Amino acid sequence: MKTKNLSRRNFIKLSGMTGTVLSLGMYIPSWSKEADIINLNTNNGSSVELNAWISIDTSGKITLTNHRAEMGQGSYQSVAQILAEELEVDMNQVTIVFASGNSAKYGSQVTGGSSTIRGSYKRLLRLGASAREMLIQAAAKKWNVDPSSCHAENAQVIHQSTGRKLSYGELVEAASKMTPPSNVKLKHPGEYKILRKPLPRQDTPMKVNGKAIFGTDFRLPGMLFAVVERSPRFEGKVKNIDDRETLKVPGVKAVVKVYRDTFSHLREGVAVVADSYWSALQGRKVLKVEWDETGIPQHNTAQLYERMREMAKGDIISYRTKGNFSDAFARAEKKVEYFYETPYESHSCMEPLNCTAHVTDDKIEIWGPIQAPDWIQSNLSAHFKMPMDKVIVNMTFLGGGFGRKAFTDYTYEAAYLSKEIKAPVQIVWTREDDMTIGPFRPGMVYRCAAGLNNGRISALETKMAGQNMGQQEPGADRKGYNDSVTEGLLEPYFNSIPHYTFGDAPLESPIPVMWWRSVYASTNGFAYESFFDELAAEAGQDPLAFRRQYLWEERYQHLIDKLEEVSGWKQRKKNEGYGVAITECFSSIVGEVVKVSRKSSGGIKIDKVWAVMDCGWYVNPDIIRAQVEGSIVMALGAATKHETTFKNSMAVEKNFDTYKMPRIHEIPEIEVYVMDNDEKAGGVGEPGLPPFTPALTNAIFDLTGKRIRKLPFSLDTV
Amino acid sequence: MASFTLNINNRNYTIEADPRMPLLWAIRDLVGLTGTKFGCGIAQCGACTIHLNGNPVRSCSLPVSAAANQKITTIEGLSEDNSHPVQQAWIQEQVPQCGYCQSGQIMAAAALISRIPNPTDKDIDAAMQGLICRCGTYTRIRKAIKTAASLSTTKASNQ
């Protein structure tokens, strides 16, 4: 039995618990024979760290750990819902806590790529089942009966023949001494009581009364607030600081040069530290910082896109090829070739970036909206040369993430500042900081070319020109291909198209770029699914029937059948304004049909969207529906409302007055269907996004004959 | 700096503040009620919506001096126990995703329902289009407002 001092972190997590807390979950098998006991009744601090997913105290309280970030996508509910199923407890009996960063214990905690469920569901099911079996063994031993004559239900073990019952709380100490079974039988989906049910989220009640704690809501005694002036051209170095007026502002405590880690480049800023955020903002208004911007290339949106268009015409770095595209293209009866353009975008989470840090000589602790606590732990450990166990990274609820909060800049900056001022501090980015400093979704230009023979695709080539998110570290290899260039494309096309080549041409630019919900699929999907629609039209075929002939696998045919059925695709009239697109993203397939009509006042109205999601094994259909609804709205924004442009090497759009978001009156009716099958779990938070925009523009083509190949566009002026 | 008395959720708080400080920061940082959120600072997103004498107001753009001695309600004051019809409806329809904007959405919706007990889609558009939800919960917000309206009507007829 291991005992360690009870840290404040554990105290926060466990406060309210009484009695002995047993930790039954285990990630590394070698630990599994020894369960940890935390005794909170002793005042001498004798206790251990929670190191796994499932804890039960002797009074029966069940605590489940969410090792991933909760940014709206529902991990707080879904991780617990999986554990609870095999553990045989009701969701209303459990308390859910966030893990801190610790990949040795939890495996990857990077909440990106829609990976939480698909990456951990099998392990979570086994953890739940293994804990249940240990509790059953403990009861059987106590009753001196065969464990197979007992079963677990509703947080108690029952002996069938005698009806005897023991609660998990009564069994937990004995259970902790049992050897976890090496093999556990998992339920068949048909036996699920909790999984696949649209259960209400456990975080909803605290999100309707202001009690959920987001990063900006976190407070420490004596904590100061800071706001940071950063180079608007991203790479500028501080040349001169004039803080005379700033230091006169009531409440301002200090002006400090700070650094942030942007893909391992230390970018500079000047922090104004004050006793309130408002005072810090007032101090910043009168701060004068001169930037040395020597060597930063001049750029603006028009130049960037001109370069990308040229690059898309030229040579590419091939990623995936089959047969001989050039030869097959040359021999094709019909040749089709188009360019597609997608904009730079800001993530614009509703909660602006922020982080609270308290750095002392022997410990770093941070709190914030953090998508990748394990990455941040390693990053801070390396920067400050602090052992990993002295770097504690706590996740609050995230007010949106979308990829932006899986990044090291804002966390390092806060820790750096706390160390400099020797005090706990919270840095809050203003909306303008959040929107102009990046990283952004990279802008892209695609050139797609195809040959058609007898109405079938005989050759296909796509070239993607734009910044490669993987080439931003110092010394990055810029000659390597971008293996994300096929993201979004349905896998069967690679079998059914005889000759193809996919490749990219990486743009160099000082603009930092990063994952944005559904990442490359968010832009690839528009190019590829628009292009297939153009090919269907060139071939004189129905857009869905055209796609169907390349997607012969059963799983895809079922999805198309469902999409046809729910949208009334076959009953539609010619040029009535229907469009379709199907994409694959993070192991899930999503098809969407959009119906548009003309507004009497001019422009286009979106009447309805039907979405069919095939994410294989799934947890909670209502969360899936919500994620697809939200993905559609986010896609609608990037397609028709907002973009980040650059002028004089700086981002132009600074707040929601110019970076215009979709609003309630612009949202169509959305119907979401979830496929039921025996496939492996796929992603849920992102895959609903890529098909929406091409389905919309294909619908507009169907209605008006006009192709939209450049985003964003205005629905009012189509 | 000046002294102000803020009546928030039927309780008086006396604070020392720059008269130009937006009410948002007084509520969050001086009074310590963090349910009201900062989203944009320029009254474009509505995350900071509170009630001033029952009317929905963007607290990021209202100086604290203008709110002194008036009746302020924040999300924390809507009910003691999530029993307000709008909160009930938000739970029933599972509206929140990340939840960050929802304090503002709920306060705007509560003000709408109290003004128009059975709002039409047009009423909802007018009252709610000043609020942004990046998670895109809009279809559920619309549905929940209608649910809240029917819950309020039921509640009223039972009294």
CATH number at residue B53: 3.10.20.30
CATH of residue B153's domain is 1.10.150.120
A605, A597 contact by CB (below 8 A): yes
What pLDDT band is residue B159 in, cutting at 50, 70 and 90? low
Cβ distance of A351 and B98 shorter than 8 Å: yes
Q: Count of domains in chain B?
A: 2
Cβ distance of B94 and A631 shorter than 8 Å: no
Q: What is the pLDDT of residues B31-88, one digit of tens each?
A: 999 999 999 999 999 999 999 999 999 999 999 999 999 999 999 999 999 999 999 9
Same domain, B14 and B53: yes
Same domain, B59 and B6: yes
Same domain, B110 and B138: yes
Same domain, B68 and B95: no
Q: What is the pLDDT of residues B120-133, one digit of tens each?
A: 999 999 999 999 99
Same domain, B8 and B69: yes
Cβ distance of B35 and A428 shorter than 8 Å: no
Same domain, B54 and B109: no
Closest residue in B to A224 (Cα–Cα) = B29
CA distance A53 to A67: 8
Domain boundary among B19, B48, B77: B77
Per-residue pLDDT, B158 = 67
Closest residue in B to A669 (Cα–Cα) = B139
**Closest CB from B36, B90, B138 relative to A664:** B138
CA distance A710 to A712: 6
- Sort out which chain A residues have CB atoms less than 8 A from B30's CB and list them: 276
Cβ distance of B101 and A350 shorter than 8 Å: yes
Same domain, B64 and B107: no
- Sort out which chain A residues have CB atoms less than 8 A from B29's CB and list them: 225, 276-278
Cβ distance of A397 and B75 shorter than 8 Å: no
CA distance A381 to A194: 40
Q: Name the nearest CA neighbour of A190 among A617, A589, A621.
A: A617
Domain boundary among B77, B103, B128: B77
Chain B, window 113-152: residues with a beta carbon less than 8 angstroms from a chain A beta carbon: 124-125, 128-142
Q: What is the pLDDT of residues B105-114, one digit of tens each?
A: 999 999 999 9
CA distance A232 to A512: 12
Same domain, B17 and B61: yes
Closest residue in B to A211 (Cα–Cα) = B35
Closest residue in B to A401 (Cα–Cα) = B98
Other Cβ atoms less than 10 A from the Cβ of A244: the count is: 11
Per-residue pLDDT, A448 = 98
- Sort out which chain A residues have CB atoms less than 8 A from B131's CB and list them: 663-664
Per-residue pLDDT, A6 = 30
Per-residue pLDDT, A65 = 94
Report yes or no: B22 at the A interface, CB cutoff 8 Å. yes
Same domain, B109 and B154: yes
Same domain, B102 and B70: no
Q: What is the mean pLDDT of each run of 10 residues along chain A (718 residues)?
A: 31 31 35 30 26 83 94 98 96 94 93 95 94 94 97 97 95 87 93 98 98 98 97 97 98 98 97 97 98 96 98 95 98 98 98 98 98 97 98 98 97 98 98 98 98 97 97 91 97 97 96 98 98 98 98 97 98 96 98 97 96 98 98 98 98 98 98 97 98 98 98 96
Q: Name the nearest CA neighbour of A81 among A198, A195, A226.
A: A195
Cβ distance of A282 and B18 shorter than 8 Å: yes
Three-state DSSP class for A84? helix
Domain boundary among B77, B102, B127: B77
**Structural domain containing residue B134:** 85-158
Long-range contacts of B109-113 (CB under 8 A, 24+ apart): B109/B141, B109/B144, B109/B145, B109/B148, B110/B51, B110/B78, B110/B84, B110/B86, B111/B51, B111/B54, B111/B55, B111/B56, B112/B56, B112/B145, B113/B85, B113/B86, B113/B145, B113/B148, B113/B149, B113/B152
Same domain, B62 and B128: no
Residue whose token pair is 């976890």: A180
Instruction: Tell me the percentage of chain B whose pLDDT exceeds 70.
Output: 98
Which domains are present in chain A? 4-207 (3.30.365.10), 215-295+353-428 (3.30.365.10), 314-345+440-704 (3.30.365.10)
Chain B, window 51-90: residues with a beta carbon less than 8 angstroms from a chain A beta carbon: 74-76, 78-79, 82, 87, 90
Q: Chain B closest CA to A575's CA: distance in Å?
A: 27
Same domain, B73 and B93: no
Q: What is the pLDDT of residues A402-449, one digit of tens each?
A: 999 999 999 999 999 999 999 999 999 999 999 999 999 999 999 999
* Preferred mutation among B98, B101, B120, B145 to probe A, highest tally of A CBs within 10 A: B98
